[in-house]
Structure 1
């Protein structure tokens, strides 16, 4: 079904502020062709139909002669509004009774209760934003830290869309030239320069690959970066977790094997949410429960983006650390070597063990080693700084980041289609077949921004996740 067919002439209404939230003011939003006239019928004050856009008016909401509340009415006349329709926002006192009564009055006068995400759906359908930007609105509302806020804000302002639109336009131009060749097939001419086309496809694939690679960290930033704390028993893992959280979250004991299950807690550091996972100590054990904990610890490492490997000079050898890091490592995992218990021996200065670990592990497995005393908050601060730097370095300055699974799947399909295009160009594929492959790639790229007709069910899934009132 065409997206234009989804447009409704209904005027919708909903509470735009969080229901049940503490606060003095609630905002009720209407959007649609009758938004102003419906409000006028229950509002006692200036005639809203005679007022200009982006003005605020004081008055009362009345049910007949009964005053329901004193309000401020904000007016946004089409097309200068969020939805590009007439929009009215009524600021009432934050009383559940008042809110429900005002909304019911507006419905009685002809409005309809809005569905989840319907205001933003209308903004998309009316061309106020593309689909990727609309989805970023939901991410912005859900953002719980600075990093996820920045990513969502960048997407909402067209960070990803602009580049995709540029790619799409170039592909369309080449497709038009390929189609033109079909009209002159008897003359055997080529309007689309194959070398330039091949260069463009390579450029697009490189950009799409970067976007696809950014998903792992974009998703981690959105949901919290998982950090596994790993090491032998009594390495100080639980002590480190407690110090990071500034509370006694994990049991600390000199008895080896105290932590038998994983403990997870979140912490916001410099605007980035980290999910720290304290795990059972890695060792061979005959204790059935502890052995299960060791298995779980290794499973958690597979789910992590960052691994903090704790060791000390008393209970570890360089060979032990090297062997365990190599066995735990997988492509994409950021490993930070953490030498603990410097208050007892060694201090911050590099020692022979550090040198051996650098020689064996740096470049291929890690490039970071830090010395700490896990029980000293001041000593742990450099480790916090390293964690923030690891994530910021991974993002790559200026690189666009995707956080949406739907976008990832569309990019993967587009990448595969562009591979077929590249193969077709190098093998001398005919223009009509080549044009078909390009259109397939275009369809997948366009599905991200909604520059093609989007199925009603897909839109329902996307916008159904929004809160009512947005």
Structure 2
């Protein structure tokens, strides 16, 4: 492993022309190197922004530059760090790197800044891999998954499992130390119960990661709109069988109705919701309506695709759309809205408006086109899901499977009345496996695999 105290430097922004470009530097000699090139800090131990100039030699000469400096360990990498901001010109940025390397810095390797953040405890391994996911994200879905992982949504439950395992291991080993005395730190029944809960959580996490890495994520498609707008008719037509109750009476659907199918090889959950409506508090159906609206709203906000259905005969489709856009509030960043004018057989083709898909379950008009639109999104949804988590899943699934097996073996040892020294041995291995996932336990090979995929400057 390279010396993490060496001062490294790299271009940290895209090399395409831009208004601003960034050169990043990290290491114990950041401040002396800056001073060597004429950039003086005004505060010894405080983060600061320095307006200065740097001499890039012939033919570029002196260049105005803004330097964000963190002179202590309170930085992303846990070391003195600096970012030099100037115009986004590749030759200029490379010239700055050359000047700083001449003054004592070393060119950074791929992922070396993020690796130093990991070594400093700023990130764990899943979060470090999520940094790469954020960098590589090309669509909203992949960015959302990477940001969730970066926020610790994977790491926190795993670290909690590991912490609980360490507590149990401490109890078991304490019991071994006092085996000749009448002291019980944890009963076999309690040990089995707590290990069973942890085993279920580890196995669920492993299966979830493997299913996502294996391109088997499920997209949720929710149907929204006014009562009697044809939502149930349409979902039946798209699925190809009757899964939702259809009637001419408005408000037939009160509860959320869902069915899972495959669409061109991709898993889809189709969700029919109650039509959007409100009632006065004195209305006998007020409580039922309020509950159905709450369920429908929750389903809508969790959906990947929202199909908004409005009767094509409606007087003002644009106004109806504006109303719907303000009705459901927040939604997943990766979701899309498809605006569908149903019962298109009841209007003339000249009445059709842009930005709306027209469908009729009577004539079949537009149903295949809508199905294809959903299929296209679901295919990209699965691709994004895989792209953002595949690296973590590939690295972690084996460790999680081994941890689950060790916990299962430990439970069997307890139930069979075998010595607790065997139980402790299995728990130690399980703790180490969970540590490999979060990065509490790591080797140089693991770090090379994780950070070798990064680009230089990150």
* TM-score, normalisation: structure 1: 0.61
Q: 1:448 to 1:14 in 2, by over 3 A?
A: same
Cα distance in 2, alignment partners of residues 415 and 6 from structure 1: 34
Look up the match of 1:48.
Answer: 41
Match of 1:439 in 2: 428
**Residue in 2 that maps onto 1:430:** 419
What is the distance in 2 between the residues matched to 1:217 and 1:102?
Answer: 46
Note the 1:90-109 alignment, pairs <5 A.
Answer: 90-109=84-103
Is the partner of 1:26 in helix, strand or coil?
strand
1:18 to 1, 14, 31: 14
The DSSP-based 3-state class of the residue aligned with 2:180 is helix
| Structure-2 separation of matches of 1:54 and 1:159 | 30
Contact 1:40/1:49 (<8 A) preserved: no
Bigger shift: 156-165 or 59-68? 59-68
145-154 vs 384-393, which moves further:
384-393
1:463 counterpart (440, 451, 456): 451
Q: Which moved more, 1:65-74 or 1:26-35?
A: 65-74
Let me know the Cα RMSD of the aligned residues: 3.6
Between the aligned partners of 2:217 and 2:17, the Cα distance in structure 1 is 26
Residues 311-322 of structure 1 aligned to structure 2 (within 5 Å): none
Q: 1:91 to 1:420 in 2, by over 3 A?
A: same
2:215 and 2:48 map into 1 onto residues whose CA distance is: 39
- Return the offset for 1:87: 0.8
CA contact (8 A) 2:403 2:434 kept: yes
Taking structure 1 as reference, are residues 18 and 422 closer, same or farther at Cα in structure 2, changes over 3 Å only?
same
8 Å Cα contact 2:266-2:378 kept in structure 1: no
Distance in 2, matches of 1:8 and 1:137, equals: 20
Flag the 1:194–1:26 CA change in 2: closer, same or farther, 3 A: same
The answer to whether structure 1 residue 404 and structure 2 residue 393 are counterparts is: yes
Consecutive unaligned residues of structure 2, counting only runs of 5 or more, are: 220-262, 270-341, 344-359, 383-388
Tell me, in whole angstroms, the C-alpha distance in 2 between the residues paired with 1:177 and 1:52: 44
Structure 1 residue aligned with 2:160, among 162, 166, 187?
166
Equivalent of 1:136, from 130, 144, 151?
Answer: 130
In structure 2, C-alpha distance between the alignment counterparts of 1:90 and 1:84, rounded to whole Å: 18
Asked if the contact 2:217/2:267 (under 8 Å) is kept, the reply is no
Matched position secondary structure for 1:164: helix
Confirm or deny: 8 A CA contact 1:212 1:402 kept in the other structure.
no
Establish whether residue 177 from structure 1 lines up as the match of residue 166 from structure 2: no
Unaligned runs of 5+ in 1: 226-275, 278-303, 309-347, 350-369, 394-399
Instruction: Give the secondary-structure state (helix, strand or coil) at the position aligned to 1:190.
Output: coil
Number of residue equivalences: 321
Does 2:53 match 1:57?
A: no
**For residues 280-339 of structure 1, what are the alpha-carbon distances to aligned partners after superposition, in whole Å with 9 as ceiling and x for unaligned?**
xxxxxxxxxxxxxxxxxxxxxxxx43489xxxxxxxxxxxxxxxxxxxxxxxxxxxxxxx
Q: Distance in 1 between matches of 2:42 and 2:362?
A: 68
The equivalent position to 1:9 in structure 2, one of 5, 8, 16, is 5
Deviation at 1:50, TM superposition (A): 2.6
Mapped partners of 2:150, 2:216: distance in 1 = 15
Q: CA deviation at 1:217?
A: 4.8
The residue that corresponds to 1:206 in the other structure is 200
State how far apart, in whole Å, the 2-side matches of 1:125 and 1:447 are. 14
- Taking structure 1 as reference, are residues 111 and 390 closer, same or farther at Cα in structure 2, changes over 3 Å only? closer
Cα distance change, pair 166–86 in 1 and its aligned pair in 2 (3 A): same
Alpha-carbon distance in 1 for matches of 2:159, 2:211? 23
